Structure 1
Amino acid sequence: MKIQIEFPAAGKMLNPNNCSKFDDTSPKGNPSSNSNSKPKVIVIMGATGAGKSKLAIDLASHFPVQVINADSMQVYQGLDVLTNKVRPEEQKGVVHHLLGTVSSNVEFTAKDFRDHAIPLIDEISSRNFLPVIVGGTNYYIQSLVSPFLMDVATEDTEENCLLDPPENEQPCPELKIEQESFDYTYDCLKAIDPVAANRLHPNDHRKVHQYLNLYARFGIPPSKVLQEKTAENWGHVDNSRFDFCFICVDASLSALDPFVDKRVDNMIEAGLLDEVFDIYRSDADYTKGLRQAIGVREFNDFLTCYFHKNEESSDASLSQTWSIETFKQTIQDILYGSCDDERKVLLTAAIDQMKLNTRRLVRRQRRRLQRLQMLFGWEIHYIDVRSSILGDSDETWAAEVVEPAVTIIESFLNRQSCPENARNNSDNIKLKQRDLWSRYICEACGNRVLRGAHEWEQHRQGRNHRKRISRLKRCERMSVN
């Protein structure tokens, strides 16, 4: 299925007065590129709710920017409140690309993002605008940065690895199997290639199918080639076709957690449940498209109960009980009225679960950013937004977030190439990347599985792990005494 993306009208330009801070030394005044450098791209990263979109829009007061959305849920049409899309009135005339443009029934992969973002960057730069990538989906950004995925002839990272067998090695005929009789399951992958299986979640059916399909075609365990070839290419910034400046808006978890909880409450008030009501299906697949978004699956039990009770109702017509207006009133009664039945228990539990899952997402996003920095040598500029999100002051935001970002970008635009100190020793990077395939099991933490030396080291340094180790040592000493 082809994904149709509509480009904004070429005449939709920003106020030229906003370009005053640019250095006009590049050809035709283009701030994004010059004759001796790659096109320059700003990437604004960070945890959900930290203010990435707000910062990108505020940068338009200093640079002629256009935004390319890199949030894997905001690319889809619909669920504007749940996915926290920037409303048109909040965009302040800044052109946004890949924002609510993809059908909700389509699986928009990292490859799809890359294939759409590259021509968008070229087109934006050609019109003397500065492309700004904004989003918390780090694998989208990584797919754009990595030269390994820049080969437009490939279908995906792993497939590019296996289009040709490793040097001096041919597929083993005895390993090849017929696709028609192949069992595309996680257990099958685990039996064929346990190393590759250790890198995947058992429910990641798309990736499991992809690995097994490659094995069926080429007869070579995916992990063998991935370890040898992907480690040499994936994630390196210095070989990319663009010159990137990475800015991360960040805050401590003690600040982000209550902010995220409040954000969920505000989304409920703004009509999040109305959106989920509209797309509810009892047989919904929550592993594809827009239904993967946090805030959809969590309300499944509540909505199932709601429709079940309405079907049992004999004193109201079907049109009344299933209307959005009736649903809105029911939600208000459950949340703020004296209603104290099963529906209130399920709704309260669903909201709490959405908050918990969002907090977990924040932690995953932060860990992935640390990994990009430590394993691949990304030079990420961190801006602390703690005071801004707690104080909610425009003056604080401008002084502590926007101004530092402007300074970083001005310095980036004035340099000719990436500084040498932004590149890590390639041999060390390769070693660490290869070790991403090692699996560690922490018995003290309930046999928790950690993938790679970096993830294991982060876990070992974590407060919960150290507490458990300390508790176990105390128990051992007591048992000896």
Structure 2
Amino acid sequence: MGEEKTTIAFDGGESAAQEKRRKQKQQKKKGAVVVVMGATGAGKSRLAIDLASVFPGVEVVNADSMQVYHGLDVVTNKPPPSDRNGVPHHLLGMIDASMEFTSRDFRNLAIPIIDDILSRNGLPVIVGGTNYYIQALVSPFLVDDVLEDLHECSVADLSDLKDFDVSGGYERLKEIDPVAANRIHPNDQRKINRYLSLHASSGALPSNLYRGKAAEKWGRVSNFRYNCFFIWLDASLPVLDRYVDQRVDCMIDSGLLNEVRAIYNPSAVYTRGLFQAIGIREFNDFFQSYFANKDADLRHKLAVSDVLNSNDDKLKNLLNEAIGKLKANTRKLVRRQRRRLHRLKKDFGWDLNYIDATKAFFCEAGDIWHTKIVGDCVDLLRTFLCENASSLACSEELGDVQSQVLVSKDLWTQYICEG
């Protein structure tokens, strides 16, 4: 017999199972963070507080670009302290209303907070509908950092451009770099000025900064800063639309008009600070007419019923139009948020655990929110945390989900005021 030969086959790399185990091992070294995402009105804040009733050490980190600002609690729909059930909330109502607050600012404030929670063996739960904030947080590469790190873009350069007409500056940027212009808001004076300054100083096209390996990694799962568990809380569009309309009516009844009246400024720039919030600019025409009325009593609170029962047909029509605009713009926001989430899942590969809460919005659904929506999230999250060896979720403190007392409380692309 001849010599027996052994043949070894090489497949050119690790198997899919080996790759999965390797990536899981890498992720376990990172802190476990829960991210609750979804459109406006889907119930994100409520879910986060309910999760805190089951998992020890939960602390909520707000990722809503308008709720970070101080004031206008009704307009921005901040969860009131009575609804938080004692759960710590961070980055909620702490930024001055006149200040600009970017995704870079959010990231720089949120990271130390999350790291501190993790150092105390807590469980950070990031909650918000501002998806680009979340993308900036979980991914080490943030596109604005490239501009910040270029010495050519100096403070002096920016100050020279600060008095530029916004529309004129945007048109100029379109001529210089149409790709960059198409990816920012036409009224985003800060970025327009920065891009023009960069080009004037170095001759570089801003759009070129968003190419290469670093940019390719931005927002990708393989480049996450944390070991993230994503919950995408959603409902059907007709249900969300109906809920949005109901919520706007409740906000009006809860004093939205008086909040907006208190900060009304006829020369306000609706692309800066808290003035960007949906629920302010919509009432501009109404308050122009209201303050022009010599009979307007500025000493007393403004009641919707007083306006609707008055003899001023113009004011009544303007109020109804403003409320209609608020509802329409909020519905548009819902659609933008959902499109962005679809993109994060499809184009960026985010593992979003989709939870359909449609049935929980119906009165006849009874306790389906607790038994189905929260229950499913708890089961999924417990599995995730148990795979993360350093997590508290596998401790004996966690009993059966049904025995827990749950709270019953209630990439760079152009977009228009995501809110």
TM-score by length of 2: 0.80
Change (3 A) 1:203 1:34: closer
**Which of 299, 312, 315 is the equivalent residue of 1:323?**
299
Amino acid at match of 1:157: D
| Distance across 2 between alignment mates of 1:302 and 1:118 | 41
Per the alignment, residue 294 of structure 1 pairs with 278
Structure 2 residue matching 1:248: 3-state secondary structure: strand
Residue 156 (str. 1) matches residue 172 (str. 2): no
Amino acid at match of 1:123: D
| Distance across 1 between alignment mates of 2:45 and 2:86 | 13
Change (3 A) 1:234 1:162: farther
**Which of 381, 386, 406 is the equivalent residue of 2:358?**
386
**Which of 282, 289, 300 is the equivalent residue of 2:266?**
282
Per the alignment, residue 444 of structure 1 pairs with none
Structure 1 residue matching 2:362: 3-state secondary structure: helix
Change (3 A) 1:299 1:35: closer
Change (3 A) 1:230 1:162: farther
Per the alignment, residue 402 of structure 2 pairs with none
State how many pairs are aligned.
362
| Distance across 2 between alignment mates of 1:234 and 1:195 | 18
Which deviations, in whole Å up to 9, do the C-alpha atoms of 1:174-222 show, x marking residues without a partner? xxxx778766811221121122112223222222122222223332111
Per the alignment, residue 380 of structure 2 pairs with 408
State the 1:408 CA deviation: 1.4
Which deviations, in whole Å up to 9, do the C-alpha atoms of 1:351-396 show, x marking residues without a partner? 0000000000000000011111111110001111111123386611
Is contact 2:104-2:136 (8 Å) kept?
Answer: yes
Is contact 1:39-1:125 (8 Å) kept?
Answer: yes
Structure 1 unaligned regions, length at least 5? 1-32, 150-154, 165-177, 314-319, 418-432, 438-448, 451-481
Amino acid at match of 1:305: S
**Which of 33, 39, 43 is the equivalent residue of 1:41?**
33
Change (3 A) 1:36 1:269: closer
Structure 2 unaligned regions, length at least 5? 1-24, 390-410
Structure 1 residue matching 2:369: 3-state secondary structure: helix
Per the alignment, residue 105 of structure 1 pairs with 98
| Distance across 1 between alignment mates of 2:208 and 2:200 | 15
Per the alignment, residue 130 of structure 1 pairs with 123
Which deviations, in whole Å up to 9, do the C-alpha atoms of 1:48-100 show, x marking residues without a partner? 01100000000011112000000000011111111111111100010000111
Change (3 A) 1:206 1:321: same
Which 10-residue stretch deviates more, 389-398 or 123-132? 389-398
State the 1:162 CA deviation: 5.2
State the 1:225 CA deviation: 2.7
Change (3 A) 1:102 1:394: farther
Which 10-residue stretch deviates more, 49-58 or 237-246? 237-246
Which 10-residue stretch deviates more, 187-196 or 354-363? 187-196
Which deviations, in whole Å up to 9, do the C-alpha atoms of 1:141-180 show, x marking residues without a partner? 010011213xxxxx9334168569xxxxxxxxxxxxx778
Change (3 A) 1:88 1:210: same
TM-score by length of 1: 0.70
**Which of 215, 220, 225 is the equivalent residue of 1:241?**
225
| Distance across 2 between alignment mates of 1:59 and 1:86 | 15
State the 1:267 CA deviation: 0.6
Amino acid at match of 1:125: L
Structure 2 residue matching 1:125: 3-state secondary structure: helix
Residue 333 (str. 1) matches residue 321 (str. 2): no
Structure 2 residue matching 1:324: 3-state secondary structure: coil
Structure 2 residue matching 1:99: 3-state secondary structure: coil
Which deviations, in whole Å up to 9, do the C-alpha atoms of 1:225-272 show, x marking residues without a partner? 312355322111222221111101101111111110011001101111
Structure 2 residue matching 1:100: 3-state secondary structure: coil
Residue 347 (str. 1) matches residue 319 (str. 2): yes
Change (3 A) 1:212 1:102: same
State the 1:333 CA deviation: 2.1
Per the alignment, residue 403 of structure 2 pairs with none
Is contact 2:62-2:128 (8 Å) kept?
Answer: yes
| Distance across 2 between alignment mates of 1:122 and 1:276 | 36
Q: How does 1:216-227 map to 2 (within 5 A)?
A: 216-227=200-211
Is contact 1:145-1:236 (8 Å) kept?
Answer: no
| Distance across 2 between alignment mates of 1:225 and 1:401 | 42
Structure 1 residue matching 2:293: 3-state secondary structure: helix
